[in-house]
Amino acid sequence: MKVVIQRVLKASVTIEGEKVASIDNGLLILLGIVNEDTQDDIKWLSNKTINLRVFNDENGVMNRSLKDIKGDAIVVSQFTLHASTKKGNRPSYIKAAKPDIAIPLYENFINQIQIDLGKKVQTGQFGADMKVELLNDGPVTIIIDSKNKE
């Protein structure tokens, strides 16, 4: 399981012209899932994501977490995070989990983030053609892969 986390001043998700999610200060979390992902990956990645100290404290030092600032989050599924570009110029998405595996894990990840954060998070829609708009703050963008815990 892999996430790209972006610290944002604001972010939104629009599907077919309708804004389905919108936040101010917080994190936009792009989530990619592979077949081998488990509930352990979800728990570890959720905890890491909401406790990652990427928000500035009163001294301008990145020393506060999403949980500390009581920030908001949007979780968006993104199978392209597991693209392989080793051969040719067309990415292969063979590592990305198919919907029958990915959807339950995506939903479990959202639930775990909500439990760990103590509040509802906003989401995109799995498999939809989404327009994601954001104002990256910093910019701060971090990639975390649950398969690289050590």
Can you give the CATH number for the domain in which 63 is found?
A: 3.50.80.10
Would residue 14 show up in a list of annotated catalytic residues for this protein?
no
Calculate the average pLDDT of the chain: 96
Number of domains in the chain: 1
Place of tokens 């890491």: 48
Candidate list 14, 38, 49, 80, residue with the active-site label = 80
Whether this model's pTM surpasses 0.85: yes
Residue 69 falls inside a structural domain: yes
Instruction: Extract the residue ranges of the chain whose pLDDT is less than 70.
Output: 150
Residues 21, 1: Cα–Cα separation, whole Å: 23
Cis-peptide, bond into residue 104, ω within 30° of zero: no
The contacts of residue 44 (CB under 8 Å, 6+ apart) are: 146, 149
Q: What domain range includes position 10?
A: 2-145
Residues 123, 133: Cα–Cα separation, whole Å: 13
Residue 150 falls inside a structural domain: no
Residue 92 falls inside a structural domain: yes
